[in-house]
A and B are shown apart, each in its own frame.
Chain A
């Protein structure tokens, strides 16, 4: 019996060891190598690389992408989630299944589609011409691409929360005479808050990291339509390793920040839902 127990403890140690070594080797080691690479030529070179006008501009463009994708997907994503959960109309199930399409479509293909739509002789080119905006090879196209690839996050996070909270409180508010918008603001929004924040964090992470779709749509013109990720790509092509590593490090720092935010939100969300179950 004692021998059994010893062998089980051995198995426990071995399994933990394998998991730690695997994750350490696959995730942590590359991360550490990247940090080392960024500072390989000293901190001075790192700051010179990251303060280069092209680099700063690329960061600003990425910031714009993140802000647009977050705002668009937070507003329309919440609306879509609400409609998909609360409303009943023919085609709702199909629509609900379509939400995941951006995950099934390669970002490169998404970018290609935008070029086909808004490029020369594109299907929707007359529309964008009539509106006087250039979409392909310009910022609006990049915003569309980023919004597309990060579309499902808010919807998929908000939908289950809406299902869980049910309609009792909303109905109560209606019964007491509250108009729809007030009900949403005072009853629905506080309830879905944590799911929404979590979805927004995922959206932001995806938007920061988006590369394929944006690269195809933008044409990657340095200093104009270049995002932080396409900056890294061009720096690699130009054998500007310091620039690539420096920008990659900044991107990693941002995504680790978002990761910690996700972790905190996850606990927060879990705490809220267990409290609701308990009460």
Chain B
């Protein structure tokens, strides 16, 4: 998924309603007036049809899911739902999901910013390859990403053996979840920061340095203020994305309750077992958190006047 670029657009700037087209057509030259009037009567019907189709398409595909989760979650009443959520497996799964996503988000914020800086400011051999590689997680199936991590850290792989020899269990444990999340969300922060950084004038940085500021000080005082909204936005979007991640985690985590079972995998298990109430209860919580994060992002953008693009 390419969250970064399409989330990074400015507000719609064009205020021409489609009906405006008819106004123009109707006030055109005399010769065009008759057919134009006919069209102005014919088009609204077409327009309503198109509008209805679009609304139905979005509404059916998007609104129904939310309604359905809420309905099945509340089917047994609020008490049953609360009981389902109080189960220790549910709480630990939710906690693990939030923790791994938070660790991933912190690493992503730092590394994503660094990579974006390197890509924008430096020219070096292999830069183009690096640039293309970064988008790979957008196009590769997340299940395959999980498989790769298994191949790398599995008990038969040299790296996995070396690490478990050193007493560090990666696979089938929380570190593998963080790794999988880092893989899946890598492009989000990079692609959010990149365009904003490209607009920061190099001359400003050079001026700061000429005036005697150190590199770190220059970065903190000149570059960081300009790009920090993009870093925050990208990090939060990556966090939201991580909450729902399933394909890569189900393969690498081992999915032991209370140890390495995340919320999405929990929902999967409950659906398979026919436990509708706890599946919907957890779904409702997950969707709620994601929505909250997305709303926070859009409120933050509005306040900071983030221009995405």
Q: Give the residue name and chain of the B residue nearest to A97 (CB).
A: B298
- Which residues of chain B come closer than 8 Å to A19, judged between CB atoms? 111, 114-115, 118-119, 130
Alpha-carbon distance between A84 and B11 when the two chains are bound, in angstroms = 12
With an 8 A cutoff between CB atoms, is A80 at the interface?
A: yes
Q: Which of B140-199 contact A (CB under 8 A)?
A: 140-145, 147-149, 151-152, 157, 179, 182-183, 186
Alpha-carbon distance between A262 and B140 when the two chains are bound, in angstroms = 13
Evaluate contact between A109 and B267: CB separation under 8 angstroms: yes
| Residues 145-162 of chain A, each 1 if its beta carbon lies under 8 Å from chain B, else 0 | 001100111001101100
Q: Give the residue name and chain of the A residue nearest to B216 (CB).
A: A11
| Residues 228-240 of chain A, each 1 if its beta carbon lies under 8 Å from chain B, else 0 | 0100110010000
Asked, given contacts A79-B54, A211-B141, A232-B143, whether A255 binds B136 with beta carbons under 8 Å apart, the answer is: yes
Evaluate contact between A108 and B140: CB separation under 8 angstroms: no
Evaluate contact between B137 and A27: CB separation under 8 angstroms: yes
Alpha-carbon distance between A234 and B104 when the two chains are bound, in angstroms = 28
State which size class the interface on B falls in. 35 or more
CB < 8 Å neighbour of B141 from A110, A175, A229: A229
Alpha-carbon distance between A103 and B294 when the two chains are bound, in angstroms = 10
Evaluate contact between A156 and B6: CB separation under 8 angstroms: yes
- Shortest distance in angstroms between B128's beta carbon and chain A's nearest beta carbon? 9
Alpha-carbon distance between A104 and B111 when the two chains are bound, in angstroms = 23
CB < 8 Å neighbour of A30 from B39, B122, B148, B265: B148
| Residues 28-69 of chain B, each 1 if its beta carbon lies under 8 Å from chain A, else 0 | 100010011001000100110011011101110111111011
- Shortest distance in angstroms between B8's beta carbon and chain A's nearest beta carbon? 10
Evaluate contact between B241 and A115: CB separation under 8 angstroms: no
- Which residues of chain A come closer than 8 Å to B64, judged between CB atoms? 113, 117
Number of A-B contacts (CB under 8 A): 296
Evaluate contact between A85 and B14: CB separation under 8 angstroms: yes
Alpha-carbon distance between A116 and B283 when the two chains are bound, in angstroms = 13
Evaluate contact between A212 and B183: CB separation under 8 angstroms: no
With an 8 A cutoff between CB atoms, is A88 at the interface?
A: yes
With an 8 A cutoff between CB atoms, is B20 at the interface?
A: yes
Q: Which of A41-49, A51-59, A243-251 is near enough to bind chain B?
A: A243-251
17 further contact pairs, Cβ within 8 A, besides A26-B183, A80-B54, A256-B139: A11-B215, A20-B130, A23-B133, A27-B136, A28-B133, A86-B18, A106-B264, A106-B286, A108-B271, A113-B65, A113-B69, A153-B2, A159-B9, A160-B6, A177-B35, A180-B46, A255-B140
Give me 8 A-to-B residue pairs in the complex whose CB atoms sit less than 8 angstroms apart, sorted by A's number: A76-B53, A80-B54, A106-B246, A153-B2, A179-B39, A232-B144, A248-B141, A255-B141
Give residues in B with beta carbon < 8 Å to A. 1-3, 6-7, 9, 12-14, 16-21, 24-25, 28, 32, 35-36, 39, 43, 46-47, 50-51, 53-55, 57-59, 61-66, 68-69, 71-72, 111, 114-115, 117-119, 122, 124, 126, 130, 132-145, 147-149, 151-152, 157, 179, 182-183, 186, 215, 240-241, 243-247, 250-251, 263-265, 267-268, 271-272, 276, 279-280, 283, 286-287, 290-291, 293-294, 298, 309
Give residues in A with beta carbon < 8 Å to B. 7-8, 11-12, 15-16, 18-20, 22-23, 26-31, 33-34, 36-37, 76, 79-80, 82-89, 91, 95, 97-113, 115-117, 123, 147-148, 151-153, 156-157, 159-160, 163, 166-167, 170-171, 174-177, 179-180, 202, 205-206, 208-212, 215-216, 229, 232-233, 236, 244-245, 248, 251-252, 255-256, 258-260, 262-263
